[in-house]
Structure 1
Amino acid sequence: MAVISNAGIGSGLQLEDLIAVYVNAEKAPKEALLNSKEDLTKAQLSGVGQLKSALSSFQTILKKLADPASFDKTSINISGPDSDAFSVDTQNASAGNFQVEVQQLAKGTRLSSNTLAGGASTTFGAGTLSFDVGGDTLDITVDAGDTLSTIRQKINDAGGALGVSANIINSDSGAQLTLTSSKTGAANNMTVSYSGDASLADLSTGLNVQQSAQDAIITVDGATISSDTNTFSNAIEGVSITAKKETTGPNTLDVSRDVEGLTDLIKEFVDGYNALRSSLDALSAPGSGGDSDDSVAGGSLAFDPLVRNLKQQAQGMLSGSVASLSGGMDSLYQAGITFDNSGKMEILSYGIGSGPSGEERLTDAINNNFTQLGQLFAGSDGLATKLDGVLDTYLESDGAIAQRQTSLNDTLKDITKQREDLETRLSNYEATMRARFNALDQIVAQYQSTGDYLTNALKSLPSVSSNKS
């Protein structure tokens, strides 16, 4: 704040101190109020940020549970002399034990020409090479004078759609053209014919068969299964087998529920909810004791309706039942989960009375009621599905938390504006006070000047003395 003048310089009075007292008396309560409001707003803004982080962490877990694929996890074990001969993918597979053999891999056709003594520069007459792969056809036009290298390039430029590629092997005795089809399966055998110049026979009807197209063949528990590729979709219902090499004997394929993985996911959900609940409780703690030494500070969002509503929604939803599963596994209790007195989840290792423990109920649900367990969490009205939707209303870009953050940031901006206005008012107030005290300073200075004059005048008068006789 700019100093207008040095008040009191004329009178010698401590007017600067007096002005400072007046200005501070005007400033202190208003500034304290703004400071308190700013501290509270910043604390609330920090609390909302913590709330958002806690919700985001829990929603990550919820989305796993809301995904039906999380309840389709199986444990695959392959044992035997050739356990790396095939791989397995599952989808809605049932548990089972199978004997699998890979008898033959799927292959495409491979053809080669006789050795051409002229090498890659051997030329051919005009005509057409016609390719047929499983009924799909392709014609390659050969111009008079085209070399073997030119024809190879024409085949590669046009043969991609048919899965045909051409190469040249250059040996000491000449060049060989090799043709390979990437389309596997007996029904996709490749043949080549020609029309036009007879020299084209060397590249078509005169080709040697190095490998005929063939199906892949496996046996599952003695049943033979063929496929035009090395992948056998639903060879076992819900199980896809991909052959990689031929086996020397039967290998055991064991498909079982991934009990451990799903148990870990359910427990991750319980731990995640409890972490969220702890955060909500800390943020909304009311505090106690006022300003006493034994007081307990409240949470940054104490009595905040945002937190209160969220706690009520989450616990109300999770302690309720799923309507579509009425009469079946329709609540968390059947999945082994209960709530303690503090509102947190637990999976008890002991039973109440003669009832099963929470761990026993969870294991039974995974082993014997797997489908309904998935619907309990991931169904269209499942608990994880619905709660995930509720959290979206808080976490979306225009959700409740974003709106609250915007409101608090607006409040901070308004506090900054109030501070600027206060400084302006105080500057004007100080200017007014200075004007008044400057006037007082001048009056007192005039009185002091007059007094000094009179004092000096009186000192200059002759003194009066008395003579005694």
Structure 2
Amino acid sequence: MTSVSSLGIGSGLQLNTLLDQLTTAESAPLTQIQSQQSSFQAKLSAYGTLQSVLSAFQSTASKLGSAATFQAVKASASNTAVMTVATSTSAAAGSYAINVTGLAQSQSLVSVGVAKQDAAVVTGTLPATLTFDFGTVTGYDSTTGAYNPPGFNATAGSTKTVTIDSSNNSLQGIRDAINKANIGVTASLVNDGSGTPYHLVMTSTNTGAANSMRISSSSADLQNLIGFDPAAMNASTATTANGVRQTVRATDATLTVNGIAVISASNTVKEAAQGVTMTLSQTGTTNLTVTSDTDSMKAAVNAFVSGYNNLQAAANQLTAFDTSAGTNSPLTGDSVLRNIQTRLRGLMNTPQSGGAYTMLSQIGVSFQKDGTMSVNDTKLSAALASNPGGVAQLFGGDGTKGGIGRQIDSTISGFSDTNGMLKSAQDGINQTLKDLSAQYASEQSRINDTIANYRTQFTALDLAVSQMNQTSSYLTQQFSAMNGTSSKK
């Protein structure tokens, strides 16, 4: 039997066109399944949008449910050139007179000068150890500005060492070795422009009197170059016999808070006033005032209202009906969204017990005709000024039960729990999408089998008609030949 390479070639019939039309007709169920998939996917995406705005609203409710929100305070300094301030949740309202008499600073030492910064300055036995002890220099007389006499009390366990060898025995190398060792000392070079211009400057990383340095070495060269014993320095010039000089004395910050003396190793002074961190900038006097931060409380309430209004706006968009196009949105008529809205609004309209305020409207938060909420700033400000604890209880209950903020937080969490209405709806759609995907694959397989069967039948038809056409052509030729022979006779 003669084979046919393309449908219709042998028979002249439009079999390929017919097969395409049959394929389109058979594929109609796939189009319907794809339409269903698109519809459910849009609904799943809409639920994702709903979950996002619910989460944002939940966050604002959770903040209002926390008593700490209504315990917030703010601090200010009358002279910010002297210090700036910050507060923690433990800060309490109050007023303080501050007198900063001294700032914390780091000790700084400078070596004698050498001619070249990159030439070897340690030529004895190497490697050698450079030892740093940290502690307090004693004997300083603030009246004379001298030590009478100088002394040094090392802090137990504070010793740090740096190794100097032939690879780092220049002034540059010693600087780099100290910095790399990360021992609490920063080293740098200074050029004073003289014949021996290069000096090694060593500064304690941390401020405070207890971070003063004593430097010694097993190498005579190192000891002569940068060794420094505070107890052996000149009382007036703060210079040791080898020429190493203390250029900056390590000191603590000193101040009084309402007349009480305070000492701090750092210029960041914590808890000298409860819950307040003071960052000192210069000596001088200033007043510190700590007051209730009603602005942050109002911001939290306004964020709550905005969160709810954003939820309403999203719900309206997800359920809108386009009258001109006659089309629905993904959640038009959706019972899950409707139930969520009903639950939340019901919670916010339910009176709370045990506090000075039982309803949101009493603090200036009320529903509008369009379903959104608004804030009466005057009424809210008055409530927070007169009874912030009552507002806190309205939203947070007694800390374990009740409170609009706590209830909304818990309820929204429930929507997405394993058996929550939103989670169940999303799980149901995901399962439906899996079923539709399996149905699509099964239907596609059936269509492929059907079209393959059609193709086999059409191929057979094409061959049969082709053979009949060949037979017809042969017979026609034979009859024509026979007729030609008869007419000659």
CA distance in 2, matches of 1:314, 1:190: 65
CA distance in 2, matches of 1:118, 1:392: 71
CA distance in 1, matches of 2:45, 2:131: 75
Please say if residues 284 and 298 of structure 1, whose CA atoms lie closer than 8 Å, have aligned partners that are also in contact: yes
Aligned residues: 419
CA distance in 1, matches of 2:34, 2:221: 100
Shift of 1:319: 3.5
> TM-score, normalization: structure 2?
0.63
Describe the superposition over 1:126-153 as per-residue Cα deviations: whole angstroms up to 9, x where unpaired.
Answer: 8875623251432658899996739945
CA distance in 2, matches of 1:184, 1:110: 10
Shift of 1:331: 5.2
- Structure 1 gaps of 5+ residues are 11-16, 350-358, 442-469
Q: 1:102 aligns with which of 100, 103, 107?
A: 100
Q: Which amino acid aligns with 1:338?
A: S
Shift of 1:95: 3.8
Please name the residue that 1:467 is paired with: none
CA distance in 1, matches of 2:340, 2:228: 76
Shift of 1:266: 1.5
Query: Is 1:338 the equivalent of 2:366?
Result: yes
Q: 1:277 to 1:131 in 2, by over 3 A?
A: same
Q: Percent identity?
A: 23
Q: Which amino acid aligns with 1:242?
A: T
- 1:49-198 → structure 2 map (5 Å cutoff): 49-59=48-58, 61-62=60-61, 65=64, 70-71=69-70, 73-80=72-79, 83-92=80-89, 93-113=91-111, 121=121, 129=131, 131-134=133-136, 135-136=155-156, 137-138=158-159, 140=161, 149=171, 152-153=174-175, 156=178, 160-161=182-183, 163-167=184-188, 169=190, 171=192, 172=194, 174=196, 176-192=199-215
Describe the superposition over 1:330-366 as per-residue Cα deviations: whole angstroms up to 9, x where unpaired.
Answer: 653454323456654333x4xxxxxxxxx45422342
Please say if residues 96 and 258 of structure 2, whose CA atoms lie closer than 8 Å, have aligned partners that are also in contact: yes
- 1:36-435 → structure 2 map (5 Å cutoff): 37-38=36-37, 40-59=39-58, 61-62=60-61, 65=64, 70-71=69-70, 73-80=72-79, 83-92=80-89, 93-113=91-111, 121=121, 129=131, 131-134=133-136, 135-136=155-156, 137-138=158-159, 140=161, 149=171, 152-153=174-175, 156=178, 160-161=182-183, 163-167=184-188, 169=190, 171=192, 172=194, 174=196, 176-192=199-215, 200=223, 203-204=228-229, 207=233, 208=238, 209-247=246-284, 250-281=285-316, 283-284=318-319, 298-320=328-350, 326-329=354-357, 332-340=360-368, 343-347=371-375, 349=376, 359-371=377-389, 373-374=391-392, 376-377=394-395, 379=399, 383-392=404-413, 400=423, 402-414=426-438, 416-417=440-441, 420=444, 423=447, 427=451
Please say if residues 124 and 200 of structure 1, whose CA atoms lie closer than 8 Å, have aligned partners that are also in contact: no
- 1:437-448 → structure 2 map (5 Å cutoff): none
Q: Which amino acid aligns with 1:420?
A: Q
Shift of 1:270: 1.1
Please say if residues 53 and 314 of structure 2, whose CA atoms lie closer than 8 Å, have aligned partners that are also in contact: yes
Q: Which amino acid aligns with 1:186?
A: A
CA distance in 1, matches of 2:112, 2:280: 33
Q: Which amino acid aligns with 1:336?
A: G
Please say if residues 155 and 164 of structure 1, whose CA atoms lie closer than 8 Å, have aligned partners that are also in contact: no
Q: Which amino acid aligns with 1:44?
A: K
Shift of 1:176: 4.6
Shift of 1:315: 2.7
CA distance in 1, matches of 2:130, 2:35: 91
Q: Which amino acid aligns with 1:138?
A: T
CA distance in 2, matches of 1:152, 1:20: 86
CA distance in 1, matches of 2:312, 2:435: 28
Shift of 1:230: 0.7
Please say if residues 46 and 331 of structure 2, whose CA atoms lie closer than 8 Å, have aligned partners that are also in contact: yes
Describe the superposition over 1:199-252 as per-residue Cα deviations: whole angstroms up to 9, x where unpaired.
Answer: 9375436553333321112334454422111111122222110112234xx334
- Structure 2 gaps of 5+ residues are 1-5, 137-154, 239-245, 466-489
Q: 1:384 to 1:422 in 2, by over 3 A?
A: farther
CA distance in 2, matches of 1:31, 1:407: 18
Q: 1:364 to 1:127 in 2, by over 3 A?
A: closer
Please say if residues 94 and 238 of structure 1, whose CA atoms lie closer than 8 Å, have aligned partners that are also in contact: yes
Please say if residues 184 and 228 of structure 1, whose CA atoms lie closer than 8 Å, have aligned partners that are also in contact: yes
Describe the superposition over 1:383-435 as per-residue Cα deviations: whole angstroms up to 9, x where unpaired.
Answer: 44553454455568997165255235325425634653674587599899999
Please say if residues 110 and 212 of structure 1, whose CA atoms lie closer than 8 Å, have aligned partners that are also in contact: yes
Please say if residues 177 and 203 of structure 1, whose CA atoms lie closer than 8 Å, have aligned partners that are also in contact: no
Please say if residues 72 and 91 of structure 1, whose CA atoms lie closer than 8 Å, have aligned partners that are also in contact: no
CA distance in 2, matches of 1:298, 1:258: 47
Please say if residues 190 and 213 of structure 1, whose CA atoms lie closer than 8 Å, have aligned partners that are also in contact: no
Please say if residues 59 and 409 of structure 2, whose CA atoms lie closer than 8 Å, have aligned partners that are also in contact: no
> TM-score, normalization: structure 1?
0.65
Q: Which amino acid aligns with 2:103?
A: L
Please say if residues 164 and 177 of structure 2, whose CA atoms lie closer than 8 Å, have aligned partners that are also in contact: no
SS at match of 1:235: coil
CA distance in 1, matches of 2:38, 2:170: 84
In angstroms, what is the RMSD of aligned CA positions?
Answer: 5.6
Q: Which amino acid aligns with 1:304?
A: D
Shift of 1:36: 6.5
Please say if residues 129 and 162 of structure 2, whose CA atoms lie closer than 8 Å, have aligned partners that are also in contact: yes
Q: 1:299 to 1:5 in 2, by over 3 A?
A: same
CA distance in 1, matches of 2:332, 2:232: 89
